[in-house]
Amino acid sequence: MSSPDFESLGIASPVLKAVQQLGYEQPSPIQAQSIPILLAGENLLGVAQTGTGKTAAFALPLLSRINSTQKTPQILVLTPTRELAIQVAEAFQTYARNLKGFHVLPIYGGTDMRGQLRGLERGAQVIVGTPGRILDHIRRRSLKLNELNALVLDEADEMLRMGFIDDVETILAETPDTCQRALFSATMPPTIRRVVKKYLGDAKEVSIEAKTKTVERITQRYLMVKGHQKMEALTRILEVEEFDGMLIFVRTKSATAEVAEKLEARGFSAAALNGDLSQTLRERTVNRLKKGQVDIVVATDVAARGLDVERISHVVNYDIPYDNEAYVHRIGRTGRAGREGQAILFVAPKEHRLLRSIEQSTRQKLTIMQLPTGEQVSGQRVQQFQDRILQHIETGNHDQFKPLLEKLAEEHNISMTDIAAAMTSQLQQERPLFPKIIALDTSNQGRSERQNRPDRKERSDRPDRKERSDRPDRKDRSDRPRQERPRNDDIEMVTYRMEVGKNHGVMPKDIVGAIANEAGIESQHIGRIKLEDDYSTVDLPDGMPKEIFNHLRNKVRVCQQPMKLSLPSSSLQKNHPTSEKPKDKKSDTPKKSSPKKDTAKKQPE
């Protein structure tokens, strides 16, 4: 019996269009069983682990029934933590991209209440929040549930463990009797059963058993890395890691082509494998992988089903799977025929819950992976270069070139070493032996672990907790007058321009924070910052990857203003990866800085 697709489940056409645009191919088991029940307006009890695709299981059908003209809350989702609230709200926004006039509002503790009040006054059809803060708004009468159509309790057992169950019951009592209710939980302790019986008495039950098990002979590692830094991190791993064949898994069909193209541009032999390819092309790609004609295949879960290639030594989860079972199937593509296998998982800071769920499901701790350093990348390139030279010496006939070089050395009175060095410099231009690599921020794992400790109540959701906005203002030490940061004399710097300045209320700490968080450049590598009225300049390490430059140029904001980072024409180098002609030549005045001429003191480490 074939699995259903999203179209056959009956979700509304604008929501279905969003799913198709995202490239999702088939619903997970929890989605296939839950969506028809919720579309029919029935109550639902879902027993499933984190990582089974629960968010789409309730978001897609509830969005299909939403009234876009009604601005009061129609759907309320309760989550145990602020991180999950943000994640669920983002998912709703993504799935509702084709619904006109749609608004979702995340509400959780630890942030200024005034911003949430303004959001509620403007109106939102979907509210996602933590129990304590939702209850605060209900008591303030800023959140009214009288027109609520659906309520979802996500990870109910986690809310019980964190001490929120009383708040949850109080909120449930405030909802209309006609309100549709859905509860999702990995386990069903007696207290949760009581809540189900009292508030979801006629609920249909969907249970997804965890079939995952420990995978033998596979070394599993994970790397904490931000989304826009994944390609840079992957490239470094491929440079250093010794692999035979590799499978890279992504979530969507469009991502397979995008990642494969970027790898090809970086000199790796890669191909895409997705459901849009004809069966003939898919078989051809797999055969090329088997024969060693291609080393890397970028695939979706559906396209890689049944794939059995012995030479696959590594599986990289470029996008973390939402389904734990999918994770096991993915990494099971390696470690075949008694061989050892390697599995690497990329985890964004907000995805730490999915990592924890995978570890619980597989009953195996993943080892944290250190990103290869510039020295390791350089060392590997030098070794490969030496190996190629030695191979040519052993297998080739170079006698005809020796007199030519001897004559060159004699006529110009230069040594063979100098000639060899010059030729090496020419040969390595496209793939430098000593590349300049910007540091990526992969230090978020400790922070994420602290944020997700299940045995500590979310402090800002405690009823007796005073709102931050009610406290007397405290002077921020970083607000002291300071317009320049000393440079690091050991790193060659380039001066960039950004279209934010004093008139926008920007301070040096705002620029440092934006660059450090969004580009992963450590603060000690951010040099002198100069603030003007309408723009600012900042010194950053030379050799910034183009992906990071484009991210800072097009997507990052500072104090609600677009950064619009630019590299002036006077600062461009021929081989600079971010070389682009600026649109406004008049404003492009900063020049490339030389660290040797700067007498400022080096920052303390």
Q: For 31-65, write each residue's pLDDT tens digit.
A: 999 999 999 999 999 998 766 788 999 999 999 99
Residues present in the chain in total: 605
Nearest Cα neighbor of 80 from 145, 160, 173, 148 is: 160
In this predicted structure, the answer to whether residue 117 has a pLDDT above a threshold of 80 is: yes
Instruction: Let me know whether 110 and 201 are in one domain.
Output: yes
Range of the domain at 389: 374-427
In this predicted structure, the answer to whether residue 102 has a pLDDT above a threshold of 70 is: yes
Instruction: Let me know whether 62 and 123 are in one domain.
Output: yes
Q: For 393-413, write each residue's pLDDT tens digit.
A: 777 777 777 888 888 888 888
Number of neighbours of residue 351 by Cβ within 10 angstroms: 20
Q: Which range has the worst mean pLDDT, 150-154, 252-256, 511-515, 580-584?
A: 580-584
Q: For 541-562, write each residue's pLDDT tens digit.
A: 876 777 788 888 888 888 878 8
Residue 232 in domain:
yes
Instruction: Let me know whether 36 and 141 are in one domain.
Output: yes
C-alpha atoms less than 13 angstroms from C-alpha of 578 in its C-beta half-sphere: 25
Identify the domain boundary among 427, 449, 465. Answer: 427
Given a contact cutoff of 8 angstroms between Cβ atoms, the answer to whether 35 and 9 are in contact is yes
Identify the domain boundary among 406, 427, 448. Answer: 427
Nearest 10 degrees: Cα torsion 356, 362, 365, 370: -80
Residues 6+ apart with CB under 8 A from 18: 94, 95, 96, 97, 98
> 251: which DSSP letter?
S
In this predicted structure, the answer to whether residue 449 has a pLDDT above a threshold of 80 is: no
The share of the chain scoring above pLDDT 70, in percent, equals 76
What is the reported pLDDT for 228? 84
Q: What does the alpha-carbon distance between residue 258 and residue 250 come to, in Å, rounded to a whole number?
A: 10
What is the reported pLDDT for 520? 65
Q: How many structural domains compose the chain? A: 4
* Amino acid in position 222: Y
What is the reported pLDDT for 547? 72
Q: Which range has the worst mean pLDDT, 289-298, 314-323, 380-389, 572-581?
A: 572-581
Nearest Cα neighbor of 113 from 562, 431, 470 is: 470
Instruction: Let me know whether 203 and 343 are in one domain.
Output: no
Instruction: Let me know whether 113 and 134 are in one domain.
Output: yes
What is the reported pLDDT for 210? 57
Please state the rounded mean pLDDT for residues 90-111: 91
Residue 212 in domain:
no
Q: Which two tokens stand for residue 15?
A: 């929501």
Identify the domain boundary among 427, 453, 468. Answer: 427
Please state the rounded mean pLDDT for residues 242-247: 91
449 vs 76, higher pLDDT: 76
3-state class (DSSP) for residue 106: strand
User: Taking CA 225 as the corner, what is the angle to CA 88 and CA 508, rounded to the nearest 5 degrees?
Assistant: 90
Instruction: Let me know whether 172 and 268 are in one domain.
Output: no
Residue 502 in domain:
yes
Q: What does the alpha-carbon distance between residue 337 and residue 351 come to, in Å, rounded to a whole number?
A: 32
